[in-house]
């Protein structure tokens, strides 16, 4: 490796990987998935030297093991069970599950294949590695980190002065961070702000990065991702995929009951989600997460849905996590304040805000148990299905179900 090792702990992943991982271990340990990398930026090119560095960094990641100290930390989280901790004691990433080539328009193609238990864990460290390698090798990193520090200081100042009021917010930037150093600086700065300015109007409540949560003694934040709904709902070929949310919510409640409950609404459109998010699930889950589409229309709709069910939305959380900055969060909070609990998961804006445009890179589940899977969110362009025929089939299933609903059946 030309660079220092980027991922140095298996805790350096998003919290929802452990949330989903435990449920996968207990209920779907035989599922197999394929994940595919994509760079959405136009004009970004990864050189062969970058690709080779990414390979070497991923090889180094695959040598890591959980330490007993790290396992003890996970074991103290109230919804994590001892059986899953024992599994993690034996867990290791397999480099053989990775295929890394230059066969893509951007110069970098990555695909992982294997058990869902394994491949799910690869997503976040892989994206963090790709990001840091790119920014260190394509740009003057010292200049970037200085611009990052300047903007970070500005952001803290805005919250302390009351320029922006963003209610409760968490740092969600691991997958697209400038570097491990940058994310550490951000989490430390907002954690310090919280301690030194106890009456600041905005509350920093945690980070999705479990390693940094442990390091700074703050809350690791995260529940479920789109992969959970896609795989539980579409991985069993006997299921009608229009009911993906029902299968996902049911399996989650079996695992966690009333704990650890923020439901993601847009895996196969929020319209379809609401058909399954009825009284039992709406009561058991503490809130819902927005990740695509108009956040104001979505929030109004969720509050209306709770009200129709006889649930006081003031006791439920609306968690916003789609391309946020402080100005957007401030406006959303002011709009929904007093009608529901409002919280924010803020990613790239906190972990990769420099004078250079950040990468928009993703790794998504593209197959489960040998069958294509698809995400149909509330806006176009977020899906990565490789089979248009299957995507059309899924859309027809959703349309059929919504047509039944309109007929009252």
Residues pairing with 147 in the sheet? none
Q: Which residues, in sequence order, are CB contacts of 245 under 8 Å at separation 6+?
A: 229, 233, 267, 268, 272, 273, 275, 276, 277
Question: What is the structure's pLDDT at 250?
Answer: 97
What pLDDT, on the 0 to 100 scale, is given for residue 381?
Answer: 64
Give ∠ CA 183-186-187 in degrees, rounded to 5: 85
Q: Is the dihedral of CA 3, 4, 9, 15 positive or negative?
A: negative
> How far apart are the C-alpha atoms of 202 and 194, rounded to whole Å?
9
Coil, strand or helix: which one is 250? helix
Q: Which of 379, 372, 86 is nearest to 241 (CA)?
A: 372
Q: What is the pLDDT of residues 243-293, one digit of tens each?
A: 999 999 999 999 999 988 999 999 999 999 999 999 999 999 999 999 999
Which of 49, 87, 47 lies closest to 71 in space, CA to CA?
A: 87
Name the token pair of 393.
């089939």
Backbone angles phi, psi at 22, to 5 degrees: -65, -45
- Look at the alpha carbons of 57, 58, 63, 67 in this order and tell me if their dihedral is positive or negative: positive
pLDDT in tens, the chain (409 residues): 999 999 999 999 999 999 999 999 999 999 999 999 999 999 999 999 999 999 999 999 999 999 999 999 999 999 999 999 999 999 999 999 999 999 999 999 999 999 999 999 999 999 999 999 999 999 999 999 999 999 999 999 999 999 999 999 999 999 999 999 999 999 999 999 999 997 788 999 999 999 999 999 999 999 999 999 999 999 998 999 999 999 999 999 999 999 889 999 999 999 999 999 999 999 999 999 999 999 999 999 999 999 999 999 999 999 999 999 999 999 999 999 999 999 999 999 999 999 999 999 999 999 999 999 999 988 876 667 888 999 999 999 999 999 877 655 5
- Both tokens of residue 351? 């972990």
Q: CA-to-CA distance for 75 and 84, rounded, in angstroms?
A: 9
| Nearest to 345, CA basis, from 315, 318, 376 | 318
Cα separation of 258 and 255, whole Å?
9
- Provide the pLDDT for residue 409: 52
- Supply the pLDDT for residue 408: 58
**CA atoms in the 13 A half-sphere facing the CB of 307:** 9
- Determine the Cα angle at 56 with ends 365 and 212, to 5°: 70
pLDDT of residue 382: 66
Rounded Cα distance between 375 and 370, Å, is 16
Q: How far apart are CA 396 and CA 403, in angstroms?
A: 10
Determine the Cα angle at 11 with ends 247 and 248, to 5°: 5
Q: Residue 51: how many CA atoms within 13 Å on its side-chain side?
A: 17
Residues 127, 300: Cα–Cα separation, whole Å = 33
Question: CA-CA distance, 382 to 275, in Å (whole number)?
Answer: 22
pTM (2 d.p.):
0.96
Pairing state between β 341-346 and 361-368:
unpaired
Residue 373 in contact with residue 230, Cβ under 8 Å? Answer: yes
């Amino acid at each position: 490796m030309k660079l220092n090792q980027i991922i140095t702990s298996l805790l350096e992943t998003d919290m929802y990987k452990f949330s989903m991982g435990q449920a996968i271990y207990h209920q779907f340990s035989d599922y197999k998935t394929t994940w595919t990398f994509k760079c959405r930026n136009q004009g970004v090119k990864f050189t062969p030297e970058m690709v080779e560095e990414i390979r070497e960094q991923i090889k180094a990641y695959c040598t890591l093991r959980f330490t007993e100290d790290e396992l003890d930390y996970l074991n103290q989280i109230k919804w994590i069970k001892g059986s899953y901790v024992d599994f993690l004691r034996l867990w290791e990433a397999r480099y053989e599950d990775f295929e890394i080539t230059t066969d893509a328009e951007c110069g970098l193609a990555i695909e992982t294949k294997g058990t869902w238990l394994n491949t799910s864990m690869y997503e976040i460290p892989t994206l963090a590695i790709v990001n840091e390698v790119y920014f260190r090798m394509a740009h003057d990193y010292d200049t970037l980190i200085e611009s990052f520090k300047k903007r970070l200081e500005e952001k803290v100042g805005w919250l302390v002065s009351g320029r922006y009021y963003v209610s409760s917010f968490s740092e969600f930037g691991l997958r697209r961070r400038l570097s491990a150093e940058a994310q550490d600086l951000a989490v430390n700065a907002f954690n310090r702000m919280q301690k030194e300015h106890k009456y600041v109007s905005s509350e920093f409540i945690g980070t999705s990065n479990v390693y940094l949560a442990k390091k700074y003694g703050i809350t690791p934040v995260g529940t479920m991702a789109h992969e959970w709904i896609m795989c539980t709902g579409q991985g069993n070929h006997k299921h009608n995929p229009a009911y993906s949310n029902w299968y996902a919510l049911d399996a989650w409640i079996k695992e966690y009951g009333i704990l650890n409950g923020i439901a993601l609404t847009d895996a196969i459109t929020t319209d379809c989600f609401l058909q399954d998010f009825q009284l039992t699930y709406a009561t058991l889950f503490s809130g819902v997460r927005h990740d695509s589409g108009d956040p104001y229309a979505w929030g109004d709709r969720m509050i209306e849905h709770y009200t129709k069910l006889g649930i006081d939305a003031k006791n439920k959380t609306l968690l916003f996590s789609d391309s946020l900055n402080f100005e957007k969060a401030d406006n959303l909070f002011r709009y929904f304040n007093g009608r529901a609990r409002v919280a924010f998961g803020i990613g790239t804006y906190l972990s990769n805000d420099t004078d250079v445009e950040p990468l928009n890179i993703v790794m998504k589940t593209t197959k489960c148990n040998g069958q294509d899977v698809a995400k149909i969110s509330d806006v176009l362009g977020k899906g990565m299905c490789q089979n248009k025929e299957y995507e059309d089939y899924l859309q027809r299933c959703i349309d059929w179900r919504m047509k039944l609903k309109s007929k009252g059946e």
